[in-house]
Structure formats: C-alpha cells, structure tokens
Chain A
C-alpha cells in the first residue's frame, strides 16, 4: 500500500502528468521572473506541508511539500492569482493546509480577537490614571 501512495500523488498532480521526471523541476527551482517568484514564495510560506510537523511547504524537505511547491510555482507562472491558488489548495486538502485562516466562519473570531483584547486591556488600565498625582 505504501508503494502506491507516491504513484497516486504523482497521478493527481498536473505538473507530473505533463511528464517532466520524478521530481517536479519547479519544486526546487525558482521562477525566472523575480516578482512572480516573490509572489509564489509568499504563498508557499502560508501553506502547510500536510505530510510534516507544522512546517510550511517553503521550509520542508518532504516529497509532498516539493510537489506542492511545484504546483504553486506552476500556477503562478501561468498567471494565476495567489488567492485563487490558495482556494485551489483548500479545495483539495481542506482548511488545514492554509496557515492563514479566512476572515469568516471559524476564523473570524481569531481576527477580531486582537482588537477586543487591546480595547479590554486599555479599559482595565484606565483606572490606574484616574487619580491626580
């Protein structure tokens, strides 16, 4: 069963389906256009390697991360928007793959919490200054 997994993964990714060898070349190669590479890099840092222990796909030696990096660079090179690629990844691997939760549903609270904490702590501290020295 273990031997089949890589093959299944290989078949499921379009990069490999085009027949470019065992390790997709864009996994460990930069895009020629530095602006596009920077865009891809930013996205890769915000996607989780689902095979490893909490690294992003930009910081992982795992084969799965390599395949995902190749996918990201491939799509960026084809002119895809980073957010579209992120949703593509989420559709495929679930919310778990994105390190940056959406500002809706389960993630909404996370984004508004800092503001409430800030206001609450200022409200708490307010009493300290009331008395005139």
Chain B
C-alpha cells in the first residue's frame, strides 16, 4: 500500500513538472500565459509529492518490507537500524529517488524565496528545472522503479554491501547528490537568464547561493569519501585517482571555478559569458559523474549498484541536456553584453587565472578518466592511473596555489604589483626558506612534496592578508569565509605533501608477543582474538603502540561479512597532533607458523588533509550565511542595475 502510494506520488509529481515546463514554454513563446500563475504552485506541489515518495521508500526500508524488490535485494532483517535507513539511498533506485526529491524541493525553494531576479527569468528557470526533473522522473518510472513489488517475498533479504555499512558512508552519497542538484539549479538559472536576456549581476546574485551551497556539499562529500577510502580500504591511501573519485572531483573543480567567476559577475559585472559557460560545464560534469558512477563503464573500487543499461539512459539524458544547453548558449551568447573591462594585474585577472588553472586540471582529469574508453574503442586496452594524474595535474595545482598567494590581495579593475612589493618579498622568503628547510631535513622526498610544503606554508600566512588593515568587526562575513577557505587549502595541501613525502611504512608478520617498529613507534602484537558483530565475524589483533613512554592500545580487525560474503579490514588509527599511526591486521602469514601479516604506517600530518577540507567547507558556509544575512537586511542594488 505504502509502495503504491509512493509510486502514485511520483507520477503526480512528474505531471506537475510537465505543467511547470509547459507554463514556462508558453511564457517564452509570448503566448497568453494563462498557465504562468500555475508555475510556482506546481513547483511547491512537485516538491511535496517527491518528499512524500522518498519518505514512503524510507518507511519501507524502516519496516523492512521484503515484498518490495528494492528492500529485499538491499536490506536484511538483521541489519542495524541506521543502515536499514541508509539503505534507502545506498542503492541505485533509491539514490535516484533522492536525487529527484532534492531537485524538486530545491525547485520549490527557488519558487518561494527567490525575489531578486526578473519574474520572467524566474519562470524560465523553473521551467528548465522542471525539464531536468522530467528526464529523471522518466528514468525512475520507466527504468528504475524503486517501488517494484517482489512475489513471493523472501524471508530475510540479501543485505547491503558491507563496505557501505559504515556511518560515514551512509551520509556520503546524499552529500554528493546535494552538490550535484545544486549545480543543476545553477544550470537552470544560467539557461533561464540566457533565454530571457538577463545575464547580469542580479542573476549572478540569485545563482551564487546555490553554487556556494552545492560547492560546500561537494567539498564535504569529497573529503568524507577520501577519509572513508583511507580507513576502510586498509592500505593507507587517501586518493586513488579512481574513476569514481574523479567523477566527484570534476564537478567540484567546475563548481570552484564557477563560484569565483559568479562572484566577479555579481560584484563587478564582468565575465558574463564565462560564468554561463562554467555553469553549463559544472552541470554537465555532475551528470557525467552520475553516469560514470552508475553505469559501471569504468572499473572502480567505489562503484556500487552498477547497471550498463541504466548508464545508457543517464548518458542519453546528459547528452540531451548539455547539447540543448550549448545550442542555446551558441544562439544567445551574442546577446550577452561585454562585461566591465579590467587589466591583467587585478582581482579579476587573478580570478581568471584561477578559472584557467582549474579548467586545465578539470580537462586533464576528464581526458584521463575517459581515455581508456576511447582507447578501448580503438582496440587498445590501456590504463590511466595515479602516475599520470599526478604528473599532469600537480604542476598546475602548484601554479594555482601560486596565483592564490597574490590574487586575493589585488584590487578590482587594475592594480600594480609594486604596491605589494614587501608582501611579495615576504611570501617569497617563506616559500624559499620553507622549501630549503624541508629539502635539508629530507633530501630524498622529491620535488612535489617539497614545493607543496613550501607553498602551503606561504599560503597559510598569505591567506589572512586580505584582512590586513580592515576593522575586523566591520569586515563582511563573506570576506572571512574566503580567508578561512583559502587557509583551509593551505592546511589540506600541507597534509597531502607531508603524507606523500614523509610517510613511513613497515610490512611484517608477527606472532603474539612479537613487535615491530615504524618511525620511532614500537608496536607489539599482544594477542589475536575472534570477535563477533551483528552480521560479521572478525579476528582482532590486540596491539600496544608505544613511543617515548606513552602507551596506546590498538585493535585492528579483519572482518568477514556474510549476506553478502565479503572480507574487509578495519584499520586501527591512532591520532596524534602530528600524524596518525595506521595499523592493519591481515591474513595468517604462512600455514601453521602462528604469525599474522601486520601493516603499519606512520603518516605525518595526514589528518590535516581532512581538517583542511572541513575549513574549506566552513569558509563556504560562513560566506553563504553572510550573504543570506546581508540580503535579509537590505536588497543590494549596485550601479550596473541602475544604468
């Protein structure tokens, strides 16, 4: 009954989307527009119906209704309740339903809150939004119905991938989806503004919170995914340049570029065409991301619930939306006016550098990810992996950081580097001395980690410079947000460079009572014991790590899950301020000799990678709050609107 109600709600929501689209079309065609007053109510109802459908599915997972195919194949009666609920979106159909629900609720939110843009632009935006939603409704209803029944109902259910039975991961996919959906809204705004010739600061200010929000979620999602891979895959890596990771990184790169250029458009009325272009690219990348993850076209450690046929459906949707959007872009771009002029050395110039470097990284990641497919089509089976991506992107990232040292301190329109000569000299001194110090301390670590450390030290100072000479209480929140986010980049890059240049590794086999050393830590295996969990059994290595008289207990496990069967290693992490000790216990070493394979790592400052990620997201959140407060106080109008 609940399942049928959910399905009915989905169909009705699709009808609302259709109404919204038709209403928008009549408005753009310059018709009588009797449907126009219905656009907003249709958006509200669509949002409500989708929420209803999503909660219906959640309820089915909550009560473990095994007569529903999706529940039966992704849940199990013995599963902990949190993972039963997380099972709602831990599979293909449920995650697509979540996508659509978030999309519809966001559409309703735009209809309700957005009063800055021209009403016609708003209607066009909602129509584009409904057009996107319709594609996904079709996808859900025709190709991946989450409410399909199963007759006869099984007795216990098949279970959820054990790797996914992790609290952090339960919230990882929804976070990324929020990001993707936010970018779809930016896309709708961009197309809406193009269609109604309203590309200007007002449109940019309406679009900015969505880009910012999407970007915050993507940042959190990527950081969380990376931490998950770090402790769950059991080999101490935190970024594998895996296709699925790349699929989440590409929208982030596009969103980061878009975030910067939309700010220029909002405050300076420049980079108009550029911003529209980036909004289209960002949405295309989030569709491509969904496609790559869902189609299983590329082998990946992160790919779950893959299905090539459905992948083809998403690919078709992506091609349709992006090609229509680019056609509109090509037809309308002539009408977008030239922005305000600026010089090479200026804040705008710095942001253009940011956009160029981010776009180059994005293009390299995209080409590297899709290249094996192209090569395979031509008959060559090749792999493109970490060595390529590191060599091709890290130099550009370092250039990006170099631009970031100076950019935020420049004035709008035009500036002279001579004005900041002492600051530049200061930054150069930190850069050179930091690099030299790291090189003297550890000559063998290689160029990239050294440059990364030097640049992050310089940036850690330079990031705060935009606050210099300002009255802190009167500084707008978005400026604080920017400073914190840029400082977060420095923190994160420092962690990455320190980890990749200075990690220590010990691979060994220990019998209970024996010990091993890594980077000054002595780790003793005291005992190996069996442990039983809800739906797994494990061997736990009871270890004691000691350094300078401090003793810590560690309990890494090697888990064997059933339903479905799978082996995972639960690493034990000991966090110190200056790094993490990472311990793993694997299989028995040789038959009968009583030793267990043990892997130990000391990873200096590795936690900074994710602390930095949190700071970046926090900076975004502060900036977003600041914009919302300021908007609540007074509707900003700047001189380009009066003209």
Contact = CB atoms under 8 A, between A and B. Distances in A.
Interface in B202-220: none
A125 B303 CA distance: 37
B393 to A, nearest CB: 8
A133 B343 contact: yes
A87 B591 CA distance: 33
Contacts of A113: 363-364, 367
B356 interface: yes
Interface string B339-362: 001111010010010011001100
B586 A106 contact: no
A94 interface: yes
B533 interface: no
Nearest to A46: B387
Interface string B379-390: 011111111100
A11 interface: no
A19 interface: no
A95 B381 contact: yes
B643 interface: no
Contact of A114 (B240, B274, B392): B392
A85 B211 CA distance: 47
B368 interface: yes
Interface residues of B, number: 59
B429 interface: no
Contact of A46 (B386, B590, B591): B386
A6 B291 CA distance: 35
Nearest to B375: A106
Interface residues of A, number: 45
Contact of B242 (A54, A97, A106): A54
B386 A45 contact: yes
Given A53-B303, A113-B364, A28 B380 contact: no
A53 B300 contact: yes
Nearest to B371: A110
B569 interface: yes
B416 to A, nearest CB: 13
B233 interface: yes
B589 A101 contact: no
Residue with the highest number of chain B CB atoms closer than 10 Å, among A23, A54, A55, A122: A54
Interface in B237-260: 237, 240, 242-243
B138 interface: no
Given A61-B567, A100-B387, A100-B388, A29 B299 contact: no
A35 B388 CA distance: 23
Contacts of A129: 342-344, 349
B301 A125 contact: no
A58 interface: yes
B413 to A, nearest CB: 5
Contacts of A22: 590-591
B343 A55 contact: no
Interface string A93-127: 01111111100011100110110011001100100
Interface stretch (B167-175, B190-198, B503-511, B534-542): B503-511
A123 B385 CA distance: 29
A60 interface: yes
B387 A30 contact: no
Nearest to A37: B505
Nearest to B349: A129
A84 B368 CA distance: 24
B448 interface: no
A131 interface: yes
A42 to B, nearest CB: 9
A19 to B, nearest CB: 13
A56 interface: yes
Interface in A7-63: 21-23, 28-30, 38, 41, 45-46, 48, 52-56, 58-61
B299 A99 contact: no
Nearest to B599: A28
A132 B341 contact: yes
B502 interface: no
B252 to A, nearest CB: 18
Nearest to A94: B381
7 contacts: A21-B590, A46-B387, A100-B388, A106-B378, A114-B392, A129-B349, A131-B341
Given A53-B303, A98-B382, 15 more contacts: A30-B507, A38-B444, A41-B505, A54-B301, A59-B237, A61-B234, A95-B383, A96-B383, A100-B385, A106-B382, A117-B359, A117-B360, A117-B367, A128-B342, A133-B414
Interface of B: 233-235, 237, 240, 242-243, 271, 274, 298-301, 303, 341-344, 346, 349, 352, 355-356, 359-360, 363-364, 367-368, 371, 375, 378, 380-388, 392, 396, 413-414, 444, 505-509, 567, 569, 586, 589-591, 597, 599
